[in-house]
Amino acid sequence: MTSRKRRVAARLGTTAVLATGMAAALAIPATAGSGAPVTPAGDNDPMIQAMQRDLGMNAAQAEQRLRAEAEARGVADTVRAELGDSFGGAHFDAERDTLVVGVTDAAKADEVRAAGAEARMVDASSAELESITQRLNRAEDRAPDGVTGWYVDVESNSVVVTTAPKTRGQATAFVNSTGADRSQVEVVESREQPRALMNIYGGNAYYMGSGGRCSIGFAVNGGFVTAGHCGSTGESTSQPSGTFAGSSFPYNDYAYVRTGSDDTPQPLVNMYNGYGRTVSGSNEAPVGSSICRSGSTTGWHCGTVEAKNQTVRYSQGAVYGMTRTDVCAEPGDSGGSFISGNQAQGMTSGGSGNCTLGGTTYFQPVNEALNAYGLSLVTG
């Protein structure tokens, strides 16, 4: 095994209608940092605390690491510009608090040292390795199912292609078919199985395996509740990935989707303004109360509870025990959250009208679904 391979291996309408639809999803926006250098703030700094927890450091070591990394970032920017086509990538050696810079031209090594970094001779420039990843990207739709990804590994000065156990041959054939320089590509078998990690928020979209889109009602321990007409028991979902563990429609209109351990139920309802409404419980609001609804087609709308225990006759059959509101909704909002104050009320079922002219919307009370499947809300 070459030293390069060892390094890689070591890291390795007007009538009542259902509100199901196909429009695009919206999600709670994440707030990005400014990118400014980190200034350590002592033992109470959440970053220092997290580094102690996750990297096995004490506070002084964490602060020193942050200072060294901030300095290394500045040096990396400088040498990248100075080396041009000779730049072979850079990595921070945490054991020595040192920036190591790859150089393809020995005559340029002194420039790296003068900037305060360690120079290391490499075969391939950063631009050459990036061109290989672009070649693989263009052929992505031809990659075998076992191939889980590829990346530039700066320390081994190569492009690493990860593939499932016992699929090295298929992955190698794929790389060869792209015309990539095999001397600069390492194929590594790995047990990693990438999947999207998602927070589960009320009002966000999810997709049914049979096609179509609905909205999450409320996060529960183990997944979320939604409308029963969105999917049948056993049907799969994506974004987040899950399975309808129970579904009832008509007569009722509720369902429970069980999700994977990598998806995190959150006690929040998306208000589609960058904020989430905290869910504190599920005490039922009386008629006349204000109530708001979140859904992946029309976002956040509010109105009033008009009546309880309504029977709604859809073309698919009657649903009993619904709550009537004057909140608008449209296709794709089905299953989404109805909340009054901080109390979960129910999941959007259907109605009439739209959010341009207004309308009537009915929801399935959430407590009935929780009791039916023995679920507990995720609250905050």
List residues with catalytic annotation. Answer: 229, 253, 334
CA distance 262 to 195: 8
Q: Provide the 3-class DSSP secondary structure of residue 243.
A: strand
Query: CA-to-CA distance for 53 and 273, rounded, in angstroms?
Result: 33
What whole-number distance in Å separates Cα of residue 316 and Cα of residue 118? 71
Closest CA to 277 of 328, 343, 329: 343
8, β-bridge pairs: none
Q: Which residues contact 149 (CB under 8 A, 6 or more apart)?
A: 161, 162, 194
Query: DSSP 3-state assignment of 228?
Result: helix
Which two tokens mark 13? 């309408």
Task: Please name the residues in contact with 42: beta carbons below 8 A apart, sequence gap of 6 or more.
Answer: 48, 59, 63
Closest among 107, 109, 111 to 78, alpha carbons compared: 111
Is-contact 75 99, C-beta < 8 A?
A: yes
Contact between 152 and 129 (Cβ < 8 Å): yes
Burial class (CB within 10 angstroms; exposed 0-12, middle 13-18, buried 19+) of 59: middle
Distances in whole angstroms, Cα of residue 373 to Cα of each of 97, 288, 330: 54, 29, 27
CA distances from 119 to 98, 104, 116, 258, 291 (A): 11, 10, 10, 52, 64
Decide: 364 and 253 in contact? Cβ < 8 Å. Answer: yes
How far apart (Å, rounded) are the C-alpha atoms in residues 96 and 357? 66
